[in-house]
Amino acid sequence: MGHNVVVIGGGIAGLTSALRLAQAGKKVTLIEGSRHLGGKLRTVDGWEAGAENFLMRDPAGGPSAAVRLVKELGLEDELRHPEPLKAGLYVNGQLRPLPTGTLLGIPGPQAALETIATVTATDTDSGKPVLASDAAVGKLVRERFGAEVVDRLVDPLLGGVYAGRADELSIAATMPGLYQHLLHEHTLAAAVAKAMANSKAHQQKHVFGTVASGLSTLVNAIAQRLPSIKTGVPVRSLSEVDADGIVLALPGSKARRLLEPRIAAELGDLPYASVGLVTAEFPRFDVPELTGFLVPATEGLAIKAATFFTQKWAHLAGEHVRVRLSLGRAGEPEALQHDDADLTKRALHDLETVLGALPKPVRTRVDRWGGGLPQYAPGHVDRVARARALLPGNIALAGAAYDGVGIPACIASGERAAQSLLEGWDT
């Protein structure tokens, strides 16, 4: 049957959902409220204004959803991988290599933390599983390893992914593999060891990848395969939508406004963190042999991370050095309440604090992602499951608000939303 489907939201989750539905023979219209497709995937003049890469493998070791999609779209020849360099961590006024043997900063049995953090708590085996239900990452790690491990390792690493605070982020949502082991293992260290041993995503030669011509190429390749796209068209009520099926691929607050009150209440108010990116291109100078570095909030800098783009990615190397600086942590909106010139000045000042005197940049760019990253509080996974159970069979949810951040997670979420509609029509 030729069902008519509307996908609301033109980020990578919505685009993928629309693609899968169109491939299944459905009449699909994609509606995006802004003038741009791709959400946080946006390449401007050869510079990534948002996400820069994706995981190559899923936790089981197979190709990630992003890699599968890149190959399907005929872009495999454009796959590129970072140079084999370590990332750094700026602690106690010094730039050090990020210690190995940790899972998003939580130390495993082989982690060497001597110059980074001191373990000040006891990971005691009380004869029962570490967790019986979801909990905040920071709370658990503080109880088992101490404050320095959280503040100097876990917080900056989680902050690099979610722009959030470890004390407010759900283990089940941010580290689902570890969470499953915590329901059975009696110590955090044992659970970390099991999770690291079982995850194949970070045990490959190439952990991350990108598209050489920019991630907007991926967006455009999908868009070219869709029969109907409308941009600049906000949807204010589902009563406006005439369709047999609807995929809501929207941020949490926007989706909640369109859903029935009981479903919106079950989802709850999902907070978001805003992120600012300052990219600067310099005349060539000596860059540390790192892909970039993270900065704990305890160091008192506005920047939370730096990426040495032209050193991390060989295909971007040239006459200049390009560095991207990230600002904005959850609960600190004031960090971004500056005009572009002031934000750039603050970011470059912090970069010089870490690296020393720098040449004057020849080009800079500021990108702001207001409400860019969802903050999954403990219980998030269960809340989403209960909300989905209340949805009518002709409505599906997709995107980072529900199923995790990162390009592969969003692509997989879009695919699952499409499949849920298709399965409903097949029964």
The beta strands (E) that lie in 152-289 are given as: 208-211, 229-231, 245-248, 272-283
Digit-coded pLDDT (tens) for 270-320? 998 889 999 999 999 999 999 999 999 999 999 999 999 999 999 999 999
Distances in Å between the alpha carbon of 345 and those of 272, 283, 341? 25, 17, 6
pLDDT above 80 for 205: no
For residues 100 and 356, the model is more confident at 356
For residues 331 and 142, the model is more confident at 142
Mean pLDDT of 315-326: 95
Length of the chain: 427
Closest to 245 measured CA to CA, from 394, 389, 396, 392: 394
Digit-coded pLDDT (tens) for 42-61? 999 999 999 999 999 988 88
Cα(331)–Cα(411) distance, rounded to whole angstroms?
28
Q: Are residues 183 and 219 in the same domain?
A: no
8-state DSSP, 77: G
Q: Is residue 410 domain-resident?
A: yes
Cβ pair 251, 371 in contact under 8 A: yes
Cα(217)–Cα(236) distance, rounded to whole angstroms?
30
- The band of 341, judged by pLDDT with boundaries at 50, 70 and 90, is very high
Mean pLDDT of 321-336: 83
Q: What is the CATH number of the domain that holds 25?
A: 3.50.50.60
Q: Is residue 411 domain-resident?
A: yes
Cβ pair 105, 156 in contact under 8 A: yes
Q: Are residues 28 and 167 in the same domain?
A: no
Q: Are residues 177 and 102 in the same domain?
A: yes
Q: Are residues 398 and 265 in the same domain?
A: yes
Of 167, 197, 227, the one marking the end of a domain is: 197
Q: Is residue 75 domain-resident?
A: no
Q: Are residues 116 and 255 in the same domain?
A: no
Percent of the chain with pLDDT over 70: 97
Cα(347)–Cα(276) distance, rounded to whole angstroms?
10
Digit-coded pLDDT (tens) for 375-398? 999 999 999 999 999 999 999 999
pLDDT above 80 for 336: no
Q: Are residues 259 and 398 in the same domain?
A: yes
Q: Are residues 151 and 221 in the same domain?
A: no
pLDDT above 70 for 201: no
Q: Are residues 256 and 405 in the same domain?
A: yes
pLDDT of residue 394: 96
- Cα 387–Cα 390–Cα 396 angle in degrees, nearest 5: 75
First to last CA, the chain: 12
- Cα 98–Cα 364–Cα 314 angle in degrees, nearest 5: 50
Strands 27-32, 4-8: pairing is parallel
Strands 54-55, 395-397: pairing is unpaired
pLDDT of residue 314: 96
Q: Is residue 89 domain-resident?
A: no
Q: Are residues 182 and 227 in the same domain?
A: no
- The band of 202, judged by pLDDT with boundaries at 50, 70 and 90, is low
pLDDT of residue 157: 93
pLDDT of residue 204: 67
Q: Are residues 218 and 261 in the same domain?
A: yes
Domain range enclosing 183: 98-197
Mean pLDDT of 416-427: 92
pLDDT above 70 for 241: yes
- Helix H segments across 24-72? 65-72
Q: Is residue 64 domain-resident?
A: no
pTM across the whole model = 0.95
Mean pLDDT of 210-217: 97
What distance separates the 2 farthest-apart alpha carbons in the chain? 66
DSSP letters for 76-112: GGGEE---S---EEEETTEEEEPPSSEETTEE-TT--
Of 169, 197, 225, the one marking the end of a domain is: 197
pLDDT of residue 114: 78
Residue 421 has φ and ψ, to the nearest 5°, of -65, -45
Q: Is residue 368 domain-resident?
A: no
Digit-coded pLDDT (tens) for 11-49? 999 999 999 999 999 999 999 999 999 999 999 999 999
Q: Is residue 36 domain-resident?
A: yes
pLDDT of residue 203: 63
Q: Are residues 131 and 192 in the same domain?
A: yes
* Average pLDDT for the chain: 93
Q: Are residues 253 and 391 in the same domain?
A: yes
Strands 320-327, 79-80: pairing is unpaired
pLDDT of residue 218: 97
Digit-coded pLDDT (tens) for 76-103? 999 999 999 999 999 999 999 999 889 9
Of 150, 169, 197, the one marking the end of a domain is: 197
Cα(417)–Cα(394) distance, rounded to whole angstroms?
10
pLDDT of residue 1: 58
pLDDT above 80 for 70: yes
- The band of 211, judged by pLDDT with boundaries at 50, 70 and 90, is very high
Mean pLDDT of 392-406: 96
Q: Is residue 127 domain-resident?
A: yes
> Number of folded domains in the chain?
2
Q: What is the CATH number of the domain that holds 185?
A: 1.10.3110.10
